[in-house]
Chain A
Amino acid sequence: MHSLIVNEWIKIFKRPGTYVMIGLLVLAVIATGTLNKVYGEQNPTVNPQWEQQVQQQIAQDQKQMSELPPTAATYKKNLQRQIAINQYRLEHKIPPDNEATGWTFIQDSTALISFAGLFTIIVAAGIVASEFGWGTVKLLLIRPIKRSKILLSKYLTVILFGLMMLVILFGSAAILGFALFGTGDGNTTHLAYANGSVVEQNMLLYLIKTYFLASIDVMMITTMAFMISAVFRNSSLAVGLSIFLLMVGGQITTLIATRYDWAKYSLFANTNLTQYTDGVPLVEGMTVSFSIIMLLIYFLVFQLLAFGVFTKRDVAA
Chain B
Amino acid sequence: MSNPVVELKHVTKVIKGKKIIDDLSFTIEEGEVFGFLGPNGAGKTTTIRMIVGLMGITSGEIMICGHNVKSEFEDALQHIGGIVENPELYKFLTGYQNLMQYARMVKGISKQKIDEVVEFVGLTERIHDKVKTYSLGMRQRLGLAQSLLHDPKVMILDEPTNGLDPAGIKEIRDHLKKLTKEKGMSVIVSSHLLSEMEMMCDRIAIIQQGKLVDIQQVHDYVQDSKQKYFFEVDLKKAAAILKNLPISYKRGENGIEVDLEKEEVPDMIQFFVEKGIRIFEVKPLAKTLEDRFFEVTTQGEKVHA
Interface residues of A (CB under 8 A from B): 3-4, 6-7, 10-11, 14-15, 134-136, 138-139, 141-146, 312, 314-316
Contacts and interface: CB of A to CB of B under 8 A. Distances in A.
B26 interface: no
A134 to B, nearest CB: 6
Contacts of B91: 134
B89 A315 contact: no
Given A143-B77, A315-B49, A136 B89 contact: yes
Contacts of B92: 14-15
B74 A141 contact: no
A225 B16 CA distance: 28
A146 B102 CA distance: 14
Contacts of A143: 77, 102, 105-106
Contact of B73 (A134, A136, A144): A144
Given A4-B104, A4-B105, A142 B52 contact: yes
Contacts of A141: 53-54
Nearest to A136: B88
Contacts of A314: 15, 49, 54-56
B104 A142 contact: no
Nearest to B79: A144
Contact of B90 (A4, A6, A134, A315): A134
A315 B146 contact: no
Interface of B: 15, 49, 52-56, 73-78, 80, 82-93, 97, 100-102, 104-106, 143, 146, 150
A141 to B, nearest CB: 6
Given A143-B102, A144-B106, A134 B53 contact: no
B15 A142 contact: no
B286 to A, nearest CB: 37
Max count, chain B CB within 10 A of own CB: residue among A14, A144, A145: A144
Contact of B53 (A7, A10, A139, A142): A142
A7 B105 contact: yes
B230 to A, nearest CB: 45
A278 B49 CA distance: 55
Nearest to A312: B56
14 contacts: A4-B104, A7-B101, A10-B97, A135-B86, A139-B84, A139-B87, A139-B88, A139-B89, A139-B146, A142-B52, A142-B80, A144-B74, A145-B74, A146-B73
B55 A136 contact: no
Nearest to B101: A7
A15 B49 CA distance: 30
Contacts of B93: 10-11, 14
Contact of A142 (B54, B88, B89): B54
Contacts of A10: 93, 97, 100-101
Max count, chain A CB within 10 A of own CB: residue among B78, B91, B104, B143: B104
A6 B104 contact: yes
A143 B150 CA distance: 10
Contacts of B75: 144
A145 B104 CA distance: 11
Contacts of A15: 92
Given A10-B101, A14-B97, A315-B54, A144 B77 contact: yes
Contacts of B90: 11, 14, 134, 136
B6 to A, nearest CB: 14
B55 to A, nearest CB: 4
Query: Would you list the 10 A-B pairs with minimal beta carbon distance, nearest first?
Result: A135-B88, A144-B77, A3-B104, A315-B54, A314-B55, A144-B78, A143-B105, A138-B84, A142-B52, A144-B74
Given A14-B97, A15-B92, A145 B105 contact: yes
B84 A142 contact: yes
Contacts of A138: 54, 84-85, 88
Nearest to B158: A138
A4 B103 CA distance: 10
Contacts of B143: 139
A182 B189 CA distance: 69
A144 B84 CA distance: 16
Nearest to B15: A314
A27 to B, nearest CB: 24
A7 B104 contact: yes
Contacts of B150: 144
Given A14-B90, A139-B82, A142-B77, 20 more contacts: A4-B104, A4-B105, A7-B101, A7-B104, A11-B93, A136-B90, A138-B54, A138-B84, A138-B85, A139-B83, A139-B84, A139-B143, A142-B53, A142-B80, A142-B82, A142-B84, A143-B105, A144-B105, A146-B74, A316-B55
Contacts of A4: 104-105
Contacts of B88: 134-136, 138-139
